[in-house]
Structure 1
Amino acid sequence: MRWLTPSRVLPSLLLSAPLAIAAITISLQDAGSFKSAAQAAAASSVTMYNNRDSKLIPGKFDGTWWEGGALFTFLINYWHWTGDDQYNDLVIQGMSWQGGPNHDFFTSNYSSYLGNDDQEFWALGAMTAAEQRFPEDPTPGSASWLELAQGAFNDFAGRWDVDKASCNGGLRWQLYPILGGYDAKNAVSNGAFFQLAARLYRYTNNESYANWAETVWDWSVESVLFDNKTWYINDMTHISQNCQDKSNMQWSYNYGSYVAGAAYMYNKTDGGAKWKESVDGLLNSIWTIFFPEQYGGNILSEAACDPIMTCDRDQLCFKGLMANWLSTIALLVPDQAATITTKLKYSAVAAGKQCSGPENDCGMQWFSSSWDGSKGIEQEMSALSIFANSLVAFGPDGASYTPPSIPGPVTAETGGNSSSNPSGGTQSSGEYQPPKQAAITAGDRAGAGILTLVFSGCWIAMIAWLLTGDFY
């Protein structure tokens, strides 16, 4: 993904913004208030999605592609936690359409400018659908949710860059040399690939996915991207700098990508020490960086841009992604559930107060008790995610959640019914392949000589005509 036009609130906007009339009110102990809040944010998100300029293309947002995968992930979890299925057909249509003819979320319309992370978020959405037993597309010939995730996984595995000259492993940020991000290995592309591998391993019990998860994790911690002693994740490094430089911008989705994958590995390996240490270490960093004490320690904030109101469209979605992953970790790592559910609930209450613009428009600064003046589908999406995913804090009867009273994501052995296709997507890796040149023959050289003579003669004749002709 790329950083698009920043959503900055200008002084003029603040001066002209209508006064807020009401916020979305949530009670910490009332599951119904969380459901009502999620219902309001879902309706707002879907209305904006339906009113977009690109509405004739299912799943395609205006000016961005990956965010469609995020919205559908949030709506799948909304259905899972609330039981409201009114948006399911919309999700099925958009997910299947963007799955593409090769069933790997690598469609020709957008493949020319994609990053690995763009495609990964669609694949993770499909994985969520499989794990939540979301209804499959009934259209004949449609791929299952699991097959779509497997098809995309095979693309990423085919792009794994083992060249010694380019960091001895890792996924590049973008796919083609003509794109600036081709020179970069970034945390989210590798973290999301790790997470996808871990989830496929848990779902299918196929050891090849486990091997890939270990490979991606180990490469990440050996690189400058990820320090598993301090549990600090840098955003990216560059091949042209021998992968020794590092951008230390702190983004929640980098941490969330890795910690969710580690939680799946912990759960699948019955409490493996490596993965428990990783979950605990990364969560501690997340609590410190993205739930800062200055806002009480329980309210999620995108630390690099929320406080100064510079979050762009991509970054506005990150809190929604984090809420989605935290709710799953609470189920996969039960001894973290109490801390996670507390932070989710308090963040949801805070986000509700921020949804106090005209027509309950939601802003970005959840730590602020009054609407910050910003609005858009991304703000609504993240609010939807925090409201819906906070319902992990409640049992089926609305009472407080006591692990493990709510089952975790299903697998093929625990009720999952999405059909598997391990070779999906392998007809097209989505990898840049320069056109191959045919060998030059003697006939080619003779033909080239004739063409050169013809061209030269025409050129001389044209010059003579220009010098001697009468044009008036």
Structure 2
Amino acid sequence: MKPFRRRSILQTALPALLFTQNVLALDLDLSSTDSIKGTAKIIADEMVTYYTGYRPGDVPGNLPAPYYWWEAGAMFGALIDYWYFTGDDSFNEITTQAMLHQVGPNNDFMPPNQTKTEGNDDQAFWGMAALSAAENVFPNPPSDQPQWLALAQAVFNTQAPRWDTSTCAGGLRWQIFAFNNGYNYKNTISNGCFFNMGARLAVYTGNQTYFDWAERMWDWVSAIGLRDAQYNFYDGSDDTLNCTELDHIQWTYNAGTFLVGAANMYNYTNGSSVWEGHLNGIIAQLKVFMEGQIMKESACEGVNPDGSDTCNVDQLSFKAYLARWIAATIVRAPFTYPLLKPILEQSAAAAAATCTGGVNGTSCGTKWWKGAMYDGATGVGQQMCALEVIQSNLIVEVDGPVTEGTGGTSQGNPEAGGSSPIGPDDLHKHDVTATDKAGAGILTVLIVFFVVGGAWWLIL
């Protein structure tokens, strides 16, 4: 594992004073809106210290090593959530700057500095952040810039043509291009994010086509066995074996992305018993990731004989997305509130108790379930996990998400992404080798035709 980035010189000033102030501030009171907001602010401030993209000469939207591009998109999604829950616009400017800088020349989150190594899940995390901005009425970009809803639609429209029936009877590959390691892996998070976006776009736009794609994905994941009858979600499968063998490791974000997708499917179908059953199944099996009702990344937290972790940099952020999507599930399917809110509450209290590390005393730990223990590792992932689970407890204090018909202001484009390059022949023509070109075909372009439809929200 690569070493975590050290704090800036600015943060070393008056460490003793800052430590005292911040430890007191992280005495989280979940019955107090002000306490939740104040705690979230402290944790968000610490998280943003890792980001340098707003500085002159740096690249907006990029986190420095060891963080990959996708996690930057996830972090800005967390800051969009932060604004939604707290009303504090401290980070709005850098968030908008970063999101727009990374859209790429075709406004589909395939920027030239990333596309050679970009996977479907990487692109999706930026698309989901844009979709959250539309749902939460995050301030719109200037009119001459790409708009949040259209960006989410572009990501979806570039990924739908990548549905691959040459192996495993369908699904998305992990990687977009054949020359990247993992091209032959059909992983659950890439397919789950596509399901997530399809279900949410169906509700936001009222368009049946998105729902149909999401349902198709759910059926495929279930048929392949990436979701089993007990609602375990496994990591993925090798398509050179036609997906006949599965990697059975389980991660919180796989369960989370299908949880919120199912909640939107339930919402779109006006509370159908089928999707209610799926939601109940997923929620019941979240016990895989719990110590009591405190979240745990069970595949890597405390798994060594000495109780230490095997989590890599990516995996240290996964609980953030489960927390994010639990909160979103509650508003889309309110019957889940008594099942899910205790998880947010107990996990938030446990997370806050670990945020006593670092030079400022605001660095959060990983193993929340171990009690008030800061475990010495600092990073974007740890801060983002604590931020999302704590601020998500404000879910009953804010207005519900909007749709195009209920207050949404973001401009969409059903054909966004339709002219985007999705094969290597159109990307980096000057540096893609003949071998690369031979290994990855050019896929067809999907244009989604809209139909008249309606969607409604079940708001608490």
Tell me if TM exceeds 0.5. Answer: yes
Q: 1: CA distance between counterparts of 2:245 and 2:55?
A: 40
Query: Does the Cα contact within 8 Å between 2:130 and 2:148 map onto a contact in 1?
Result: yes
Counterpart for residue 240 of structure 1:
240
Aligned CA distance change for structure 1 residues 198 and 54 (closer, same or farther; 3 Å): farther
Provide the TM-score with structure 1 as the length reference.
0.82
Distance 1:195 1:346 in 2: 26
Alignment partner, residue 281 of structure 1:
281
1:414 aligns with 2:406: yes
> What displacement does 1:6 show?
8.1
Distance in 2 (CA, whole Å) between partners of 1:6 and 1:337 is 39
Tell me how far 1:141 sits from its aligned partner: 2.6
In structure 1, the partner of 2:430 is: none
Q: Using a 3 Å threshold, how does the CA distance of structure 1 residues 51 and 60 change in structure 2: closer, same or farther?
A: closer
Residues 224, 237 of structure 1: 8 Å contact kept:
no
> Which shifted more, 381-390 or 213-222?
381-390
CA distance in 2, matches of 1:214, 1:377: 34
1:58-207 superposed matches below 5 A:
58-63=60-65, 64-138=68-142, 140-163=143-166, 166-207=167-208
The residue that corresponds to 1:362 in the other structure is 364
The number of residue pairs the alignment matches comes to: 405
Partner Cα distance (1:60, 1:352) in 2: 27
Deviations 1:255-291 (A, max 9, x none): 11111100011011110122111111011111x1111
How far apart are residue 154 of structure 1 and its match? 0.8
- Tell me the CA shift for residue 422 of structure 1: 0.8
Q: Matched residue of 2:410: which SS?
A: coil
Contact 2:53–2:59 (CA under 8 A) maintained in structure 1: no
Change (3 A) 1:233 1:55: farther
Question: CA 1:350–1:51 in structure 2 vs 1: closer, same or farther (change >3 Å)?
Answer: farther
CA contact (8 A) 1:130 1:416 kept: yes
Q: 1:416 to 1:337 in 2, by over 3 A?
A: same
What is aligned with 1:462?
Answer: none
Judge conservation of contact 1:6–1:311 (CA < 8 Å) in 2. Answer: no
Please identify which structure carries the higher helix content.
1
SS of corresponding position for 1:49: coil
Whether 1:381 aligns to 2:384 is yes
Q: Please state how far the C-alpha of 1:34 moved relative to its aligned partner.
A: 1.0
1-side partners of 2:43 and 2:160: how far apart?
36
Taking structure 2 as the reference length, what is the TM-score of the superposition? 0.84
Structure 2 SS opposite 1:185: strand
The Cα shift of 1:425 comes to: 1.3
Match of 2:336 in 1: 336
2:448 match? none
Structure 2: distance between partners of 1:178 and 1:168: 22
**Aligned equivalents of 1:186, 1:86: Cα separation in 2:** 36
* Secondary structure class of the residue paired with 2:186: strand
Letter paired with 1:108: P
Question: In structure 1, what is the equivalent of residue 295 of structure 2?
Answer: 300
> Any stretches of 5+ residues in structure 2 without a counterpart?
5-14, 303-307, 426-435, 439-460
Distance 2:73 2:383 in 1: 15
Q: Are the aligned partners of 2:365 and 2:378 in contact in 1 as well (CA < 8 Å)?
A: yes
Identity of aligned residues (%): 39
Summarize the Cα distance change of 1:215–1:52 in structure 2 as closer, same or farther, 3 Å threshold.
same
Matches of residues 383-402 of structure 1 in structure 2 within 5 Å?
383-392=386-395, 394-395=396-397
In structure 1, distance between residues paired with 2:366 and 2:181: 29
Give the letter for the 1:156 counterpart: Q
Q: Which moved more, 1:425-434 or 1:214-223?
A: 425-434
How far apart are residue 432 of structure 1 and its match?
4.2
Equivalent residue number for residue 51 of structure 2: 49
Deviation at 1:55, TM superposition (A): 6.8
In structure 2, do the counterparts of structure 1 residues 5 and 238 end up closer, same or farther at CA, with 3 Å as the change threshold? farther
Contact kept? 2:317, 2:380, Cα under 8 Å = no
SS in 1 for 2:295: coil
Q: Please give the root-mean-square deviation of Cα atoms over the aligned residues, in Å.
A: 2.2
Distance verdict in 2 for CA 1:242–1:54, change over 3 Å:
farther
**8 Å Cα contact 2:354-2:364 kept in structure 1:** yes
Deviation at 1:104, TM superposition (A): 0.7
Separation in 1 of the partners of 2:344 and 2:184? 37
Q: 1:430 offset after TM fit, Å?
A: 2.2
Contact 1:34–1:391 (CA<8 Å) still a contact in 2? yes
Write the distance in 2 (CA, Å) between the matches of 1:376 and 1:170.
33
Cα deviation, residue 407, structure 1:
4.2
Residue 426 of structure 1, aligned match among 401, 418, 423: 418
Separation (CA, whole Å) in 2 of partners of 1:389 and 1:259: 16
CA–CA separation in structure 1 for the residues paired with 2:3 and 2:276 = 37
Q: Which residue of 2 aligns with 1:459?
A: none
Three-state SS of the structure 2 residue aligned to 1:50 is coil
Contact 2:36 2:391 in 1 (8 A): yes
Q: Radius of gyration: which is bigger?
A: 1
The answer to which of 421-430 and 276-285 deviates more is: 421-430
CA distance in 2, matches of 1:39, 1:62: 22
